[in-house]
Amino acid sequence: MRIISGKYRSRRITAPKGIKARPTTDFAKESLFNILSNWFDMDEIEVLDLFTGTGNISFEFGSRGAKNIIAVDISNLSYRFITSMASEMEMPIQALKADVFRFIPSHNGKYNVIFADPPYTHAQIESLPSLILKQDLLKPNGILVVEHDKEVNFESEERFLESRQYGRVNFSFFE
């Protein structure tokens, strides 16, 4: 994976082999950040990255100047890798080892952007937006982005804004 823009533009990051994750493609990530850059001043936002996996999205936010990033994943290997890379690049990323579905109900932070990239086949993927939005983790004018495959449709969800498709990657946006 590589960082597309910002302080670490074009830097390649090689995640350990044992991380079981599907990093967001460069094409989809670049499109996502083009959208988010039109909504937010990147160096003023706080981000919650759920199911962070390799930290791909967190590192992109960090490179672009986000001031606070919380990266949550259940994998100890992901936690250690993200902690190490964030320290090496001096990014404001705090990695947390936690089950996202247990973390959300007990968390009370507020974020401009929440990005969730659960495994596409996760049994609870369709309940994720309502769980996050019910917990009131978004700041005013904040955005929740859920990455998913084409089989999942969130259009009937409350606070759904739009969905975008980039190859096999789909992003649904909620306010």
Q: Domain total for the chain?
A: 1
CATH number at residue 166: 3.40.50.150
Looking at residue 126, its pLDDT comes to: 87
In a domain, 2, yes or no: no
Looking at residue 77, its pLDDT comes to: 96
Q: Which of 29-43, 110-124, 134-148 has the lowest mean pLDDT?
A: 110-124
In a domain, 48, yes or no: yes
In a domain, 149, yes or no: yes
Looking at residue 9, its pLDDT comes to: 93
In a domain, 5, yes or no: no
Looking at residue 108, its pLDDT comes to: 93
In a domain, 30, yes or no: no
Round the average pLDDT of the chain to a whole number and report it: 93
Q: Is the pLDDT of residue 22 over 80?
A: no
In a domain, 115, yes or no: yes
Q: Across the strands, what pairs with 173?
A: 145, 162
Looking at residue 129, its pLDDT comes to: 95
In a domain, 140, yes or no: yes
Count CB atoms within 10 A of the CB of residue 70: 21
In a domain, 21, yes or no: no
Q: Which domain holds residue 71?
A: 42-174
Better pLDDT: 167 or 11: 11
By C-alpha distance, which of 63, 85, 71 is closest to 115? 71
Give per-residue pLDDT as tens, 26-69: 899 999 999 999 999 999 999 999 999 999 999 999 999 999 99
Q: Is the pLDDT of residue 20 over 90?
A: no
